[in-house]
Amino acid sequence: MPDPRLNDHRMIWHDKPVLRELYSDFYHRMADACRPGTTLEIGGGSGNFKEFAPHVVSTDILFAPWLDSVCDAQSLPFKDGSFDNVAMMDVFHHLERPTVFLREALRVLKPGGRLVMLEPLITPVSHYCYHYFHPEPVVMKADPFHEPEPDPERDPYDANQAIPTLMFLRQKKQFIEKFPGFTLHAVRHCGLLAAPLSGGFRRWSLIPARAVSLINRIEKILTPVLGPLMAFRMLVILERPSD
């Protein structure tokens, strides 16, 4: 039987058109950032990325029959240099030891391969909304490079939404020093108001599905100006340089 939470997310995906419209844009951004070749998806969850990118091996730490493998992102059961890309959506900020995962991602990537992730971004507006209206915490004082002892009782859904912002923006210099095997190719702002108004994987939405396409087009025009103030998401592209 699939994990109940993954099954619930898969049902919401199929029952909620506004969610599919919104996340289709996110998945297309991720797929466009990937290199040609085979992609390892981390935290495949409800199993949607395969609809948008070819040659995807979908994994999660929780079981579901639509996934290709169940494994821990911090101890990947794949050979060195197995993949052209590693991709993940809303997963990095859930990892207990993100630096351990980064070393694993670097190991399984081929030279020239990419790690592509779409994650929460903490801006003045999004910080307020995440703090007061989202169940996952935002702990800006956390050390994103801390490697705690593994906790076998830890819930995979535990999270700190601040981790991607801290590691790739606020402490970018430290990331570059600690991970010379990666080039920080790009960090792009994306997602202004459509994401929070859609309700995400919750069953409510404050906007209709038919409005998402128009809102996305408007947001892409406004994001270069408003992104630092109010973007809710960041697309991070890390690259393993060619040997």
Query: According to the model, what pLDDT value does residue 209 have?
Result: 92
Choose among 30, 32, 88, 95: nearest CA to 57. 88
C-alpha atoms less than 13 angstroms from C-alpha of 35 in its C-beta half-sphere: 21
Query: According to the model, what pLDDT value does residue 131 have?
Result: 92
Query: According to the model, what pLDDT value does residue 226 have?
Result: 96
Burial class (CB in 10 A: 0-12, 13-18, 19+), 157: exposed
Strand intervals (E) in the chain: 39-42, 56-60, 69-70, 83-89, 109-120, 183-190, 233-239
pTM over 0.75: yes
| Beta bridge mates, 59 | 69
- Cα dihedral 178, 77, 67, 21 in deg (nearest 10): 20
Query: According to the model, what pLDDT value does residue 89 have?
Result: 97
Choose among 125, 132, 134: nearest CA to 93. 134
CA 211 – CA 22 distance, rounded (Å): 10
Choose among 65, 67, 112: nearest CA to 86. 112
pLDDT in tens, 127-150: 999 999 999 999 999 999 999 999
Structure tokens at 132: 């007061």
**Which residues of the chain have a pLDDT value below 70?**
none
